[in-house]
Amino acid sequence: MKKVVVGMSGGVDSSVAAILLQKKGYEVIGLFMRNWDTSVNGDFLGNPDLNNDICPQEQDYNDALAVCNKLGITLHRVDFVKEYWDYVFEYFLSELKNGRTPNPDIMCNKYIKFDMFAKEAFKLGADYIATGHYARIKDGKLFRGIDLNKDQTYFLSQVSSEQLKNVLFPVGELTKDEVRKIAREYDLITANKKDSTGICFIGERNFKKFLENYLPNTPGNIVNIENGEILGKHIGLMYYTIGQRRGLNIGGTAERLFVVKKDLKKNILYVAMGDENKYLLSTSCIVTDLNLLDELPKECSAKFRYRQADNTVNVELLEDGKALVCYPQGVKSVTEGQACVFYNANECLGGGIIETVLK
C-alpha cells in the first residue's frame, strides 16, 4: 500500500483531500505545519472576530486533529517557524521596503510546503505528498483546477518540476461546493469553516497595525501626478499598491482616484483620476526568477495578478533567468513584485516575478 502524507491545514480542502486518498486505498498520514509563533511575533492584532483565548494557528491544529481522529489518521506536527521567517517573511518585508508588492504565498509554496514539508514527509516514509490545492497534475504537467474560481496554480508558479514529482492534488478535480458537500457527508468540523485569507500562515490581521511591528511608518504627501497638487497624506508607501482605489482617504473629488506610482526617494504617493487613465496602462515588463514547468512558446497567456483575467502575451527569453513579456493591447496595474504566470490554455507553464514595468 502506497503511503501519502497530507498537509493538514485545519481547513476543509485538506480534510477532503485526506478522505479522497483514503477512498483510493492509500495509507494516509497527516502532517501539520506550525510556521508562525504568535508569542514571539505579536498576537492576532486588529481582528475582533477572533477568539483571544486561542490563537488561530492552534485552532487550526485542533481542527486538523479532530478531522484526523474522525478519519482514523495519525497526525504529526512540525515546526518551521525559523524557516518561514528566513525564506518567506524576510522576503516579504524586504520587498515592501523597496516599494514593491510581494506575494508571500508563492514563496511559502516554494520554500516551505513543497520543500521543507516534503523533506519531513519523506522522513515519515511517504511515497507521495498531498495538499488541498485546487490544481491538477497530468503526465507530470501542472494544470488549473476544475473550479476555475478557486484555481491555485498562480500560487504554485515558483514550485519546480522536480518539487512537483510525487505530489497529489486530490481536490483539483472538484468544485468548492463539491468539496464542502463531501465534508458535510462525513460530518467534519471543517465542513463549513471559512476559507483562510490574509498573509500565508499569518492570517487575517489589521495589516497596518501588524506591519508597524516590523517596518517604521513614514507618512508623506499624496500628489496628483497630472498637475502636482497635494491632495492629502499617505500613511506609508508600503501600505499601497499600483491600481489601488480604496483606502486613500481623499475627499472632495468627483472622479475615482487610483494609485499610479510610488516615489521612494521623495516619499510621494502619486494618484490619477479615471478608471482607464494612461498611468495605469503598460505594454511590457521584465520578469525575473523564471521557473518554467514546460516549454514556453513565444505567444501564450499570462496572469499578472491572481484574480486577473488571462492576457495574451509575447515572450522573449533573456539572459540570467529573465524574460521580456509584451502585451501591446495594454494591461492595467501590472505591478513590480507580483508574479507573472504563464498558461497554455489550462496548463500552467510556470512564471516569474515582475521586476520592471515598461510603459
**Amino acid 195: pLDDT:** 85
Domain annotation covers residue 298: yes
Q: Are residues 269 and 288 in the same domain?
A: no
Mean pLDDT value across residues 237-248: 90
**Amino acid 250: pLDDT:** 81
**CATH code, domain carrying 323:** 2.40.30.10
| Residue at which a domain ends, from 207, 228, 256 | 207
Q: Which of 269, 8, 327, 302 is nearest to 153 (CA)?
A: 302
Q: Return the C-alpha cell found at 58.
A: 492552534
Q: Which of 251, 244, 237, 235 is nearest to 272 (CA)?
A: 244
**CATH code, domain carrying 269:** 2.30.30.280
Domain residue limits at 264: 219-273
Q: Are residues 232 and 203 in the same domain?
A: no
Catalytic site positions: 108, 200
Confidence of residue 50 (pLDDT cuts 50, 70, 90): very low
Q: Are residues 148 and 259 in the same domain?
A: no
Q: Which of 66-70, 237-241, 250-254 has the lowest mean pLDDT?
A: 250-254
**Amino acid 49: pLDDT:** 44
**Amino acid 57: pLDDT:** 78
pLDDT at 203 over 70: no
Q: Are residues 75 and 153 in the same domain?
A: yes
Q: Are residues 181 and 264 in the same domain?
A: no
Structurally, how many domains does the chain consist of?
A: 3
Mean pLDDT value across residues 204-231: 84
Q: Are residues 253 and 147 in the same domain?
A: no
Q: Are residues 118 and 167 in the same domain?
A: yes
Domain annotation covers residue 321: yes
Q: Are residues 117 and 190 in the same domain?
A: yes
SS (H, E, C) the chain: CCEEEEECCCCHHHHHHHHHHHHCCCEEEEEEEECCCHHHHCCCCCCCCCCCCCCHHHHHHHHHHHHHHHHCCCEEEEECHHHHHHHHHHHHHHHHHCCCCCCHHHHHHHHHHHHHHHHHHHHCCCCEEECCCCEEEECCEEEECCCCCCCCHHHHCCCCHHHHCCEECHHHHCCHHHHHHHHHHCCCCCCCCCCCCCECCCECCCHHHHHCCCCCCCCEEEEECCCCCEEEEECCHHHCCCCCCCCCCCCCCCCCEEEEEEECCCCEEEEEECCCCCCCEEEEEEEEEEEECCCCCCEEEEECCCCCCCEEEEEEECCCCCEEEEEEEEEECCCCCCEEEEEECCEEEEEEEEEEEEC
Confidence of residue 330 (pLDDT cuts 50, 70, 90): very high
Taking the C-alpha atoms of residue 42 and residue 243, their distance in angstroms, rounded to an integer, is: 30
Mean pLDDT value across residues 336-350: 97
Q: Are residues 185 and 120 in the same domain?
A: yes
**CATH code, domain carrying 192:** 3.40.50.620
| Residue at which a domain ends, from 157, 178, 207 | 207
pLDDT in tens, 262-297: 999 999 999 998 765 789 999 999 999 999 999 999
Sign of CA dihedral 102, 136, 203, 303: positive
Q: Are residues 186 and 317 in the same domain?
A: no
Q: Are residues 177 and 78 in the same domain?
A: yes
Domain annotation covers residue 212: no
Return mean pLDDT, the chain. Answer: 90
Domain annotation covers residue 213: no
Q: Are residues 229 and 326 in the same domain?
A: no
Domain annotation covers residue 134: yes
Confidence of residue 146 (pLDDT cuts 50, 70, 90): very high
Mean pLDDT value across residues 23-34: 97
pLDDT in tens, 113-134: 999 999 999 999 999 999 999 9
Domain annotation covers residue 140: yes
Domain annotation covers residue 46: yes
Distances in Å between the alpha carbon of 199 and those of 143, 234, 247? 24, 22, 19
| Residue at which a domain ends, from 151, 180, 207 | 207
Domain annotation covers residue 214: no
Q: Return the C-alpha cell found at 337.
A: 513584485
